[in-house]
């Protein structure tokens, strides 16, 4: 009897083990899937107006690891059709990646720089994905897909005012630069004299230029001029005044709005309180925002000092009481956003339990829009370089990590080789690109090699967006432009929102 019981138990054990092994096999086996590669569109026509929209998505299945349980890594190649991938762009994507995407502008630039495709040109392409199983490298799996792409000619990244109405007259060498706010979009605020003006794209060169389209009548429309034989119609200023001039080269439109409200209300702005300065009540400067006029920033670890009081001011003189900003109530919590200039000497107040950690402050000083936003700041655990200038290109999943400083959780560094091209910094590697970012303070900015502003943006932070009444923070996509390949050291302070990109 004992013998039979023993045999039954063994059978049950072996059967259970077989089920367990089968389950393990199914977990690690990729289902003997055939590797396939698909594209979101077979025919893609790029348009710079859609430069931030996703244009190309290549997706592939896992392929098979032949039941081995070994990891599968992937290599993507893209080449002109008919070349048998002889001069292909190739990127190793590692494991766990099943998609490769490019936005419109990225794809347009990628095809030009990586495959030599001209602008405003149609090209037939082939993409190939290769799956390699670790330890079974001889069993490569491949899949291909074909597609056609039509590129566009990018508009100029620079634009200048020139003419007798412009500040520097007809000097092409000294033409007045406009600020680029987005692809094809420029703005300038300043005094225009009576007279005429137009726009040039390159300092020292009168052509090409953007002139008034005479056929548009009273409507302020632009026409692109590349030859001295073409009509040279300028815009006319009939009244000397301060104007906001906005140009959209993609729509070929121009607006000119007379204004009196120009410049920053305060050139300097300070926080002062029991915890500021070496011994308390020292004036600590806030920094100007890069894109929102009259918005100032402050970031610091707030120590506890008796009372925890603080307020804001545009001067460093306690005698000028009418220059101090106060909360609308005494002993207001730091979360109170309402402010008043002058009047009763109310102060914000930090509790001892609220101190000893980092905070970020934004103060909007625009007249009639004054408000203060102060929030605790938890540093991001990782910061990641993305862009064609970085080692892993525009792959958000495989973005290049920076290293956290051993001395501060707010400071990250990276040393390595950057290519020519663009880059920005992701705070969270959010796959839909709608996460949090540290960007250049201007689009296409070349690093200075010095400590400069790193503009923090969040696509989903409603409180932050409300501090930018004149700026669509969610649409900003400012990138640094690395103009010379080589070895660089990048240091970023996410609390102070500063960065240095230094060529070694």
Please report the DSSP string for 392-422 in residue order. Answer: TTT-STTPEEPEEPSS-TTEEEEEEEE-SEE
Decide: 425 and 454 in contact? Cβ < 8 Å.
yes
Q: Which two tokens stand for residue 218?
A: 């009273």
pLDDT at res. 474: 79
To 10 degrees, the CA torsion angle through 162, 168, 170, 173? -90
| Residue with the two structure tokens 């080449």 | 79
Other Cβ atoms less than 10 A from the Cβ of 353: the count is 7
Other Cβ atoms less than 10 A from the Cβ of 484: the count is 11
- Give CA–CA dist 373/387, Å, rounded: 32
pLDDT 10s per residue in the chain (504 long)? 444 444 544 444 444 444 333 333 333 455 568 999 999 999 999 999 999 999 999 999 999 999 999 999 999 999 999 999 999 999 999 999 999 999 999 999 999 999 999 999 999 999 999 999 999 999 999 999 999 999 999 999 999 999 999 988 899 998 999 999 999 999 998 889 999 999 999 999 999 999 999 999 989 999 999 999 999 999 999 998 889 999 999 999 999 999 875 678 999 999 999 999 999 999 999 999 998 989 999 999 999 999 999 999 999 999 999 999 999 999 999 999 999 999 999 999 999 999 999 999 999 999 889 999 999 999 999 999 999 999 999 999 999 999 999 999 999 999 999 999 999 999 999 999 999 999 999 888 999 999 999 999 998 999 999 999 878 787 788 999 999 999 999 999 999 999 999 999
Detail the DSSP E strand segments found in 104-178.
Answer: 122-133, 136-150, 160-162, 176-177
Q: Which two tokens stand for residue 158?
A: 């620079």
Burial of 319 (0-12, 13-18, 19+ CB in 10 A): exposed
Q: Beta strands 295-302 and 357-364: pairing type? A: antiparallel
Closest CA to 431 of 405, 465, 462, 459: 459
Beta-carbon contacts of residue 153 (< 8 Å; ≥ 6 apart): 119, 120
Beta-carbon contacts of residue 24 (< 8 Å; ≥ 6 apart): none
pLDDT at res. 389: 97
- Give CA–CA dist 200/224, Å, rounded: 10
pLDDT at res. 30: 53
Which residues are paired to 296 by β-bridges? 288, 363
- Give CA–CA dist 404/394, Å, rounded: 22
- Give CA–CA dist 360/161, Å, rounded: 38
Other Cβ atoms less than 10 A from the Cβ of 38: the count is 13
Q: Beta strands 295-302 and 287-288: pairing type? A: antiparallel
Q: Which two tokens stand for residue 33?
A: 């899937």
pLDDT at res. 32: 67
- Give CA–CA dist 324/315, Å, rounded: 8
Which residues are paired to 416 by β-bridges? 488
Dihedral sign of CA atoms 479, 485, 490, 496 in order: negative
The alpha carbons of the chain give a radius of gyration, in whole angstroms, of 29
Distances (CA, A) of 480 to 152, 385, 388, 401, 496: 22, 11, 11, 17, 18
pLDDT at res. 242: 86
Secondary structure (3-state) at 90: strand
Detail the DSSP E strand segments found in 309-388.
Answer: 309-313, 324-327, 332-333, 339-341, 348-349, 357-364, 371-376, 384-386
- Give CA–CA dist 270/253, Å, rounded: 40
Tell me the whole-structure pTM to 2 decimals: 0.57
pLDDT at res. 344: 95
Stated length of the chain: 504
pLDDT at res. 261: 58
């Amino acid at each position: 009897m004992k013998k039979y019981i023993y045999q039954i138990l063994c059978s049950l054990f072996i059967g259970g083990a077989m089920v367990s092994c089968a389950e393990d096999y199914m977990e690690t086996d990729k289902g003997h899937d055939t590797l396939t590669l698909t594209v979101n569109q077979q025919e893609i026509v790029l348009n710079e107006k859609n430069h931030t929209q996703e244009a190309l998505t290549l997706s592939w299945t896992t392929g098979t690891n032949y039941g081995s349980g070994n990891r599968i890594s992937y290599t993507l190649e893209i080449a002109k059709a008919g070349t048998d991938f002889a001069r292909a762009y190739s990127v190793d994507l590692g494991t766990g990646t099943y998609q490769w995407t490019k936005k419109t502008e990225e794809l347009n630039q990628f095809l030009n720089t990586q495959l030599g495709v001209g602008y405003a040109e149609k090209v037939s392409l082939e993409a190939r994905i290769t799956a390699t199983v670790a330890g079974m490298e001889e069993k490569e799996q491949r899949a291909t897909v074909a597609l056609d792409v039509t590129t566009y000619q990018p508009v100029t990244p620079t634009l200048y005012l020139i003419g007798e109405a412009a500040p520097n007259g007809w000097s092409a060498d000294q033409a007045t630069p406009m600020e680029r706010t987005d692809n094809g979009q420029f703005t300038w605020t300043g005094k225009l004299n009576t007279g005429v003006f137009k726009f040039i794209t390159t300092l020292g060169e009168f052509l090409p230029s953007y002139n008034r389209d005479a056929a548009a009548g009273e409507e302020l429309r632009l026409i692109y001029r590349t030859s001295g034989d073409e009509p040279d119609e300028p815009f006319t200023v009939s009244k000397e005044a301060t104007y906001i001039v906005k140009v959209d080269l993609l729509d070929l439109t121009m607006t000119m709005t007379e204004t009196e409200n120009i410049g920053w209300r305060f050139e300097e702005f300070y926080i002062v309180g029991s915890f500021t300065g070496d011994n308390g009540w020292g004036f600590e400067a806030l920094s100007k925002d890069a894109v929102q006029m009259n918005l100032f920033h402050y970031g610091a670890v707030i120590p506890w000092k008796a009372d925890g009081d603080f307020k804001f001011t545009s001067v460093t003189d306690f005698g000028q009481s009418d220059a101090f900003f106060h909360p609308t109530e005494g002993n207001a919590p730091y979360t109170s956003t309402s402010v008043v200039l002058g009047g009763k000497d109310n102060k914000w107040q930090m509790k001892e339990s609220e101190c000893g950690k980092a905070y970020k402050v934004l103060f909007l000083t625009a007249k009639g829009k004054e408000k203060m936003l102060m929030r605790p700041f938890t540093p991001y655990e990782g910061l990641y370089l993305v862009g064609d200038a970085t080692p892993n290109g525009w792959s958000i999943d495989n973005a290049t990590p920076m290293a956290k400083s051993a001395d501060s959780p707010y400071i990250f560094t990276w040393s390595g080789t950057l290519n020519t091209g663009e880059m920005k910094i992701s705070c969270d590697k959010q796959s839909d690109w709608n996460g949090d970012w540290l960007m250049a303070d201007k689009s296409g900015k070349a690093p200075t090699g010095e400590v400069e502003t790193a503009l923090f943006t969040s696509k989903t932070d409603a409180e932050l967006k409300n501090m930018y009444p004149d700026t669509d923070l969610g649409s900003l996509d400012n990138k640094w432009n690395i103009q010379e390949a080589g070895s660089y050291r990048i240091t970023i302070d996410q609390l102070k929102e500063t960065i240095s990109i230094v060529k070694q």
